[in-house]
Amino acid sequence: MKKILTAAAALLLSVVCLPLATTAATASTTHRVGVATYSLGDSVFELPPGSDGTPAKGELTAVVHYPKDLAGHRYPVVLISHGLWISCADKQAWKDEDWEKLDAWPCAAGTPEIPNYRGYDYLGTTLAAQGMIVISISANGTKARMGQEQDEARAALINQHLKMWQQLSSTGRGPLAGKLPVNFQGHADLTNVGLMGHSRGGRGTLFYAADQHQRDWPAGVRIKAVIPLAAAEPYSPDDDPNNPELDGYRITNIPVGAFIGTCDGAVRGNVYDYLQANNKQPLYEWTVRGANHDFFNTQWSPASGQVGAYDDAPADCTDKRMTEPQQRSVATAYTSAFFKRYLLNDRSGMPLLTGAVRPFAVDVKVDQGVGSRR
């Protein structure tokens, strides 16, 4: 297979986990990475009530990738929210197209859940190696709500995880106290948070970070960068970027970097069209030729062998298709450069973000809004 990464791209990724050369927590330092998980239960979080008043509960579960050298450091936090997909690995139900069983939450006794939140471990490992604490949360329970109600549920779930981490880091207390194998007190900087959401997770992330919802963030939490990764588009009845229907998803005061794949069979992903009308902070859109929707999540990709995993690219997509590793390499490079710039103040990846350098064998079209060269 032809290698997609050039030497320049490999330097941008810097994924090899070597011992620290210095004690400073900087993006130029490569950190050894630890992995931890926590689960407070599958039905422990009260989701916002639906329009019909029906109650529903979701899980508080996540995987954490973190720099092992916590002592003496406070690291920025990146929270990842996966998209909307089946929750239960029931092979027969998939064969029978029995969506009631596949979408059940919690899953039936004896049926394993699909850990959709583990589909971004490749990103978690890279970002943690660069000096970030990465929390990828499970959101299978939020499918009890649809439409904007699901966005509200996802935003509430993000809020709860950030609130728990703020309590843990600032006081060593709260629901996560004693639930992790290492002590994060004083080591997670919740005033310096990046969000990445894929698919419906991307739409929920936009909702959470929107100007009009920022007052709902927990005390001591500040979002500094947002990546909608092949995000589902918010509903709008027309192409007017200033339509009030979009106000609940409109971010003007936080840097945003959006991905689109030209072979995406699930969403159009063009959130840039309405964000660029009013943005006051750096805004990027990276259109990746040949990228589909599912390969960004390893659990949804055929190589995983997971129930329901498939290649979603439509048959009429004429662009040369990317392989799973190629697509994730591109996503890792741009995500890494973006969060290093806006969470670690490391500008070394700016030529990649702005399109000044194009180290990949695939075409990545770059669109930029106000201030994107800062």
* Structure tokens given for 347: 């500008």
The total domain count for the chain is: 1
Residue 165 within any structural domain of the chain? yes
Residue 374 within any structural domain of the chain? no
Q: In whole angstroms, what is the distance from residue 233 CA to residue 236 CA?
A: 9
Confidence of residue 28 (pLDDT cuts 50, 70, 90): low
pLDDT at 53: 84
Mean pLDDT of 191-207: 97
Residue 267 within any structural domain of the chain? yes
Confidence of residue 16 (pLDDT cuts 50, 70, 90): very low
Catalogue the E-assigned strands of 187-335: 188-198, 223-229, 256-261, 283-288
pLDDT at 270: 81
* Structure tokens given for 360: 């990949």
Say whether pLDDT at 18 is over 60. no
pLDDT at 333: 97
Q: Lowest mean pLDDT: which of 135-139, 320-324, 348-352, 366-370?
A: 366-370
Residue 263 within any structural domain of the chain? yes
Name the helix (H) or strand (E) containing 62.
strand 61-67
pTM for the whole structure: 0.92
Give 29 or 202, the one with higher predicted confidence: 202
Neighbour-count burial of 36, counting CB atoms closer than 10 A to its CB (0-12 exposed, 13-18 middle, 19+ buried): middle
Residue 73 within any structural domain of the chain? yes
Residue 353 within any structural domain of the chain? yes
Residue 1 within any structural domain of the chain? no
Say whether pLDDT at 37 is over 80. yes
How many C-beta atoms lie closer than 10 Å to residue 171's C-beta? 11
**Torsion angle of C-alpha atoms 353, 356, 359, 361, degrees rounded to 10:** 100
Say whether pLDDT at 361 is over 70. yes
pLDDT at 229: 97
How many C-beta atoms lie closer than 10 Å to residue 305's C-beta? 7
Domain of 202? 7-368
pLDDT at 123: 98
303: domain CATH number? 3.40.50.1820
Residue 373 within any structural domain of the chain? no
Mean pLDDT of 332-357: 96
**Percent over 90 (pLDDT), the chain:** 83
* Residues 277-319: tens digit of each pLDDT: 999 999 999 999 999 999 999 999 999 999 999 999 999 999 9
